[in-house]
Amino acid sequence: MTETIRPPVAEETGSATPRGRLQLIRWSDFSLVPVILVLMVIGFIVSPVFLTSSNLISVVQQSSELSLLVLGQALILICGRMDLSLESTIGIAPVIAMWLVLPSEGGRFAGLDLLPVWMAIPACLLVGVAIGAINGFLMLKLRVNGFIATLGMLTMLRGLHIGITEGKSITDVPESFRYLGKTDWLGAPAAVWICLALFAIGGAALAWLRHGRSLYAIGGNPEAARAAGIRVDRVTWIVLAVGGLLAAFAGILYTGHYGSVAATQGNGWIFQVFAAAVIGGISLKGGRGTLFGALTGVLTLQLVVNVMTLGGVPALWNQFLNGAIIIVALVISRFASGEKQD
Amino acid sequence: MDSKRQETPAAVHAEGIVKRFGPTVALDGVRLTVRPGESHALVGRNGAGKSTLVSVITGLHRPDAGRVSFGGEPAPAFGDTTAWQSKVACVYQKSMVVPDLTVAENLFLNHYGLDRSGAGPGGRFISWRGLRRRAQDLLAEYGVDVDPNARAKDLPVEQRQFVEIARALSFGARLIILDEPTAQLDARGIQRLFDKLRELRDQGVAFLFISHHLQEVYELCTAVTVYRDARHVLTAPVAELSKEDLVSAMTGESAGTAVAWHAARGSAPDAGAEPVLEVEGLALDGEFDPLDLAVRPGEVLGLAGSAASGNTALGETLVGMRAPTAGRIAVRGRPVKPGSVPHALDAGIGYIPEDRHRQGLVLDRSVAENATLTVTDQLGPWGTVLPSRTREFAKGMIESLDIKTQGPEQPVSGLSGGNQQKVVVARALARGPSALVALRPTAGVDVKSKDSLLGVVRRVADEGSAAVIISDELDDLRVCDRVLALFHGRVVASFESGWTDRELVAAMEGVGERE
């Protein structure tokens, strides 16, 4: 009964046949590509403005910050963990960095003037890493529940953000932030190129680096990974820190792009982040999914929003439609990929 | 309750049962009859069809052909769970009680005596006091001495089984199926369980007893049915069947045939050779006392012992999954940092874990990925893992271990148990270990895979490495040149190859020690 009779498939000789290569690509990762194409056709029908380069660039520009959070969250989810605090990190990291570098008088926002201005970006990234590391400490050393720990972290950091800024927006954004948020490289915003590069690096690491590959083993079965000699806690900790780093970087791009940090920066994003990741085929239980899938998840959500805006949907109905779309997209991606989401 | 059922012909009668799963025939026209008040053993090797038959006579699977009847009446309609529950119940190896609820609540789970017909105490709301009282009555009726207020998780294993049996009897079932009930019990627990079963048998309850331990079959059962390769082989009173005949009925070959992997008698490796794996004063509090081991090249050492003997913990300590409280481990004279799997791997210790689902495999990932999990540092330069080399490596493993798979890219979840286990072995062999530590390596695999898995262990040793097998399965231990029996964390006996089943089993059960 345990022995299932299954005629072994005639094994092709020669190790790197095209078929062998093709099997590496899982078609379920592409399940959202047709959805994106359909959305573009709908967008074109709804409004001729849709297919103009300026509109499409603005879609990808708006996707860039969200996609960085999704990238971080995807890595963490593949590891079998989750980090809700990313949505607060995107706000608090730039705030702390600016607090440290801005002069203590003269501006609308009084900083501490502790660090030179060029330190703004490194300081911001460090804050992100530190938040991820603290989350890691809570989850891996103290072994508290990761969901609630990061939920607490989310709330606490949001409060810290409001406390430091006294609930006001900061508009004295350092030049280095502005540069990254506003510059165009080769006709598209720098942020977009950077995002694509980071996704490519992340995807390559997951595919070809031993430590990248180990994320799947850790998320799929941590005990088996440990028995195979993978340093499960260390790798998970690093991934959490990288997640914080990416969120902080997203904060830099977002702040630079809009030229200010609002007290609500990032508020409520985490739902979009999770939705995009799951729609993109990443399992909340860990061990499954690809970064390419996650990226298509982000694009799908952003395209829908854009098409709705162009279609003149009343702003008051946006929230309702947003939720509805997440559910519909979830159902579509579940059946397009043929895999149960869990 | 009522003893008039005793006159009815058979507690369960199954005839001509056929069950197919896709191309696999799991049951091929088998039959089974259990009389009231009888303990009937159902034995057979893995894959013989025992568990499928249990599913069929408990109403979990619908047979493709054949009839089942209980006490002369045809079986309930497929899917009518309540009706099936009133006929038959199965106590599985895995406990089916809710660990955090009390015994009383477990007994009346989901009906709570809120009687549909109004015959019971009835009422709309759960009466906790009444529930406890009725639980007490029920337990007393079957002579089960368990506090109804205790949490199920706090009970010893055999008492949990009593609770499950009492629950089944309260539904009116007069046939209880016990699936490997002694697997997690120590000798005394087994004794208590058997006493209880004999008691209930005298009340007219019939038992179908599924076990790999033939000794227990002889101890408890009155009749035995043997299945082999999905077919019925024989049914006979236990008293009229010698152990040799029973074994040959199970295997289809005359017992005692030496298999290639059996350790040859007197083949003890050169005692002068430098030991590959050396352990000094290794101890883990609460699991095993300080002990010394030395395994020489070409030697397979067996560490025999039941679940409570501490041999599993010893194995996990050897490979770094657990940190010992004292002692040191050395491979080829080089000390190994304790409690660290990466260091153990580097030192050349290969690990075949006990439970492949828990520690062995990442089920969603491919055969290639699982087989190369321990060698990701050798599959490309600068920490990269090149897919082509991974595939190449996996193909070599698939070939040398004869893993039946559609290819290296197939997820391991799609493989049969025996082939999954081979992937776990591939992972352990990938680094070319100088010392292989295998915990119950053939648990839940069929006879053929078992032969080939144990053959692999023998081969590894014959190539000059050391191997340690930790198991309570006698077949696993037959491959060993030397067997140490553990009981309650201490080595109680040592055997050269050529031991008899009786003396080893006695040592594992601590019998030798007490007398």
- Whether residue A211 and residue B373 make contact (CB cut-off 8 A), yes or no, is no
B361 touching A, CB under 8 A? Answer: yes
B chain contacts of residue A20, beta-carbon cutoff 8 Å: 391, 409
Task: Mark which residues 208-247 of A lie under 8 Å from B by CB.
Answer: 208-211, 213-214, 216-217, 220-221, 223-231
For chain B, what is the largest distance between any 2 Cα atoms, rounded to a whole number of angstroms?
A: 80
- Reduced to 3 states (helix: H, G, I; strand: E, B; else coil), residue B474 is helix
Q: Is residue B417 part of a domain?
A: yes
Q: Is residue B266 part of a domain?
A: no
pLDDT at A1: 39
Report the 10 Å Cβ neighbour count for A114: 12
pLDDT at A132: 96
* Same domain, yes or no: B30 and B15: yes
Whichever domain contains B4, its CATH number is: 3.40.50.300
Three-state helix/strand/coil letters over A162-189: HHHHCCCCECCCCHHHHHHHHCEECCEE
The Cα–Cα gap between A180 and B335 comes to: 53
pLDDT at A92: 95
* Same domain, yes or no: B234 and B291: no
- Whether residue A228 and residue B374 make contact (CB cut-off 8 A), yes or no, is yes
Q: How confident is the model at residue A144 (pLDDT cuts 50, 70, 90)?
A: very high
* pLDDT of residue A342 exceeding 70: no
Interface confidence (ipTM) of the complex: 0.73
pLDDT at A295: 94
* Same domain, yes or no: B481 and B391: yes
Domain range for B180: 1-87+173-252
Percentage of chain B exceeding pLDDT 90? 5
Could you say which of B145, B171, B197 is where a domain stops?
Answer: B171
On whether the CB atoms of residues B278 and B349 are closer than 8 A, the answer is no
Q: How confident is the model at residue A242 (pLDDT cuts 50, 70, 90)?
A: very high
Convert the pLDDT of each residue in B355-388 to its tens digit. Answer: 888 888 888 888 888 888 888 888 888 888 888 8
CA B475-B481-B487 angle, to 5 degrees, is 65
* Same domain, yes or no: B202 and B71: yes
pLDDT at B431: 86
* pLDDT of residue A76 exceeding 60: yes
- Region B70-98: mean pLDDT is 82
Which of A3, A22, A206, A337 is the best residue to mutate to test the B interface, defined by the most B CB atoms within 10 Å of its own CB? Answer: A3
Report which of residues B127 and B424 the model is more confident about.
B424
- Whether residue B359 and residue A227 make contact (CB cut-off 8 A), yes or no, is yes
Pair of tokens at residue B1: 């309750």
* pLDDT of residue A23 exceeding 60: no
The Cα–Cα gap between B322 and B284 comes to: 9
- Whether residue B362 and residue A15 make contact (CB cut-off 8 A), yes or no, is no
Convert the pLDDT of each residue in A250-300 to its tens digit. Answer: 999 999 999 899 888 888 899 999 999 988 889 888 888 899 999 999 999
- Whether residue A208 and residue B445 make contact (CB cut-off 8 A), yes or no, is no
3-state helix, strand, coil in chain B (%, to 5): 35, 25, 40
> Model's pTM, two decimal places?
0.76
In which region does residue B61 sit, left (phi positive, over 0), alpha (psi from -120 to 50) or beta (all else)? beta
pLDDT at B268: 54
Domain count, chain B: 3
- Reduced to 3 states (helix: H, G, I; strand: E, B; else coil), residue B59 is coil
pLDDT at B267: 53
* pLDDT of residue B464 exceeding 90: no
Q: Is residue B263 part of a domain?
A: no
- Region B316-324: mean pLDDT is 90
* Same domain, yes or no: B454 and B333: yes
The C-alpha of A5 sits at a distance from chain B's nearest C-alpha, in angstroms, of 6
**Secondary structure element (H or E) that encloses residue B298, with its range:** none
The C-alpha of A288 sits at a distance from chain B's nearest C-alpha, in angstroms, of 8
Convert the pLDDT of each residue in A42-52 to its tens digit. Answer: 998 988 888 88
pLDDT at A93: 95
On whether the CB atoms of residues B97 and B106 are closer than 8 A, the answer is yes
- Region B88-98: mean pLDDT is 79
- Whether residue B376 and residue A287 make contact (CB cut-off 8 A), yes or no, is no
* pLDDT of residue A13 exceeding 50: no
- CA-nearest of B475, B361, B365, B348 to B421 is B361
A333 touching B, CB under 8 A? Answer: no
Task: Mark which residues 389-418 of B lie under 8 Å from A by CB.
Answer: 391-392, 395, 404-407, 409, 416-418
Pair of tokens at residue B184: 């997690």
- Whether residue A2 and residue B416 make contact (CB cut-off 8 A), yes or no, is yes
A19 touching B, CB under 8 A? Answer: no
Q: Is residue B412 part of a domain?
A: yes
Q: How confident is the model at residue B84 (pLDDT cuts 50, 70, 90)?
A: confident
The Cα–Cα gap between B514 and B507 comes to: 10
* Same domain, yes or no: B305 and B430: yes
Phi/psi at B444 (5° precision): 70, 30
pLDDT at B193: 85
Could you say which of B171, B196, B227 is where a domain stops?
Answer: B171
- Whether residue B230 and residue A228 make contact (CB cut-off 8 A), yes or no, is no
* Same domain, yes or no: B165 and B194: no
Question: Which of A40-54, A235-249, B156-170 has the highest mean predicted lDDT (pLDDT)?
Answer: A235-249
Q: How far is CA B166 from CA A4, B92, B146, B180, in A?
A: 36, 14, 11, 18
In DSSP terms, B33 is beta-bridged to B13
- Region B314-330: mean pLDDT is 90
Could you say which of B213, B235, B252 is where a domain stops?
Answer: B252
- Whether residue A6 and residue B407 make contact (CB cut-off 8 A), yes or no, is no
The C-alpha of B241 sits at a distance from chain A's nearest C-alpha, in angstroms, of 26
- Whether residue B24 and residue A23 make contact (CB cut-off 8 A), yes or no, is no
Convert the pLDDT of each residue in B8-48 to its tens digit. Answer: 578 889 989 998 877 778 888 899 999 888 899 998 766 67
* Same domain, yes or no: B64 and B197: yes
Q: Is B451 exposed, middle or buried (0-12, 13-18, 19+ CB in 10 A)?
A: middle
Taking each continuous run of H as one helix and of E as one strand, the counts in chain B are 17, 20
Nearest to A228 among B48, B373, B405 (CB): B373
Report which of residues A27 and A205 the model is more confident about.
A205
- Region B136-163: mean pLDDT is 84
On whether the CB atoms of residues B424 and B457 are closer than 8 A, the answer is no
Q: Is residue B489 part of a domain?
A: yes
Q: Is residue B270 part of a domain?
A: no
- Region B401-412: mean pLDDT is 85
* Same domain, yes or no: B309 and B394: yes
Q: Is residue B78 part of a domain?
A: yes
Which of B60, B227, B319, B341 is the best residue to mutate to test the A interface, defined by the most A CB atoms within 10 Å of its own CB? Answer: B341
pLDDT at B270: 61
- Whether residue B407 and residue A11 make contact (CB cut-off 8 A), yes or no, is yes
**How far out from the chain centre does Cα A121 lie?**
19
Q: How far is CA B239 from CA B177, B195, B265, B482, in A?
A: 21, 19, 33, 34
The Cα–Cα gap between A105 and A110 comes to: 6
A chain contacts of residue B370, beta-carbon cutoff 8 Å: 224
Q: Is residue B464 part of a domain?
A: yes
* pLDDT of residue B289 exceeding 50: yes
Percentage of chain B exceeding pLDDT 70? 87
* Same domain, yes or no: B355 and B472: yes
B chain contacts of residue A234, beta-carbon cutoff 8 Å: none
The Cα–Cα gap between A318 and A312 comes to: 10
A26 touching B, CB under 8 A? Answer: no
Three-state helix/strand/coil letters over B221-253: CCEEEEEECCEEEEEEEHHHCCHHHHHHHHHCC
B388 touching A, CB under 8 A? Answer: yes
The Cα–Cα gap between B282 and B291 comes to: 5
A chain contacts of residue B359, beta-carbon cutoff 8 Å: 221, 223-224, 226-227
The C-alpha of A19 sits at a distance from chain B's nearest C-alpha, in angstroms, of 11
The Cα–Cα gap between A27 and A187 comes to: 32
* Same domain, yes or no: B328 and B233: no
- CA-nearest of B48, B21, B164, B134 to B446 is B48
DSSP secondary structure string, B364-416? Answer: TSBHHHHHTGGGGGGSSSTTB--HHHHHHHHHHHHHHHT---S-TTSBGGGS-
Structural domains of chain A ordered from first start: 29-37+49-337 (1.10.3470)
B chain contacts of residue A223, beta-carbon cutoff 8 Å: 358-359
* Same domain, yes or no: B105 and B165: yes
Axis crossing angle, helix A269-279 with helix A86-101, rounded to the nearest 10: 130
Among all chains, which residue has been given the structure tokens 């070939």? B399
The DSSP code for B275 is: P
Report which of residues B200 and A93 the model is more confident about.
A93
Q: How far is CA B66 from CA B51, B315, B477, in A?
A: 17, 46, 40
